[in-house]
Amino acid sequence: MVDDIHNMAHEPASDPEAIEEILEEDAVDIDFDDVVEAAAATVEAADAAPPFNEDNSVDSAVVADLERQVAGLKAQLEDRANQSMRIAADFENYRKRTSKEKDELATQIKGDTVIELLPVVDNFERARSQIKPQTEAEMTIHKSYQSVYKQLVETLKRLGVSAMRAEGQEFDPLLHEAVMREPTADHAEGVVIEEFVRGYQLGDRVLRHAMVKVAAPPEDDSQSPDVESTGPSD
């Protein structure tokens, strides 16, 4: 039983009820019944063979035998107590690990689902920036699908998804993907000056890197002046 608990505590999580079934099936091993029975047998043996001679002197052999039995019982009791503590510790570690793996799996599934929805968000944002309704009917349609976009964004926020704000930030390869560098004196080197595709995060996990343009040092167009060479005078 102990080996089963130790093996489950150090193996990938499977059925959380399996370890509980083992504990229920072999609970007698943890109740110290065998130690209690041995102690009772020792007491009975002591009653049957008291450690005194006929002249009321102590029989050292009987006392030594009883001391050995008591020491053995103490060792068994300590072993069972340590065994129970190890089982409890292994079970607690198993419970914590399965809980962590469950949370990580849920986050992974959520992130993969959101990644599939990001192109839909992109299309809504392109429509908002590029389509300019001219008539009242067009404006009605425009507001209608933009309300759907707003609802989608609010749903993503409730799931823990956040959009990156890359422009004006220092370029970070963990968050951004530089697709262009532009020499400029208007921004410090390495600053994001334009965002082409917005990046998204789920907690600390990057779902999509932001595709950006990064400032580079301005090009030096100055040229060294020509130095007129002079030959030896005649």
User: Where are the chain's structural domains?
Assistant: 2-110, 111-158, 162-216
Q: Return d(Cα 207, Cα 197) in angstroms, integer.
A: 13
- Assign domain 162-216 to a CATH class: mainly beta
Distances 168 to 181, 188, 219 between C-alpha atoms, Å: 14, 10, 21
Q: What angle do CA 133, 135, 139 make, to 5 degrees?
A: 50
Positions of the chain with pLDDT under 70? 1-59, 62, 221-234
How confident is the model at residue 202, as a pLDDT? 93
How confident is the model at residue 213, as a pLDDT? 95
How confident is the model at residue 214, as a pLDDT? 95
How confident is the model at residue 229, as a pLDDT? 42
How confident is the model at residue 41, as a pLDDT? 65
Q: Does the predicted TM-score (pTM) go above 0.75?
A: no
Asked whether the beta carbons of 35 and 74 are under 8 A apart, the reply is no
Which helix H or strand E contains 143, and what residues bound it? helix 136-158
Read off the amino acid at residue 225: P
Classify 167 as helix, strand or coil.
coil
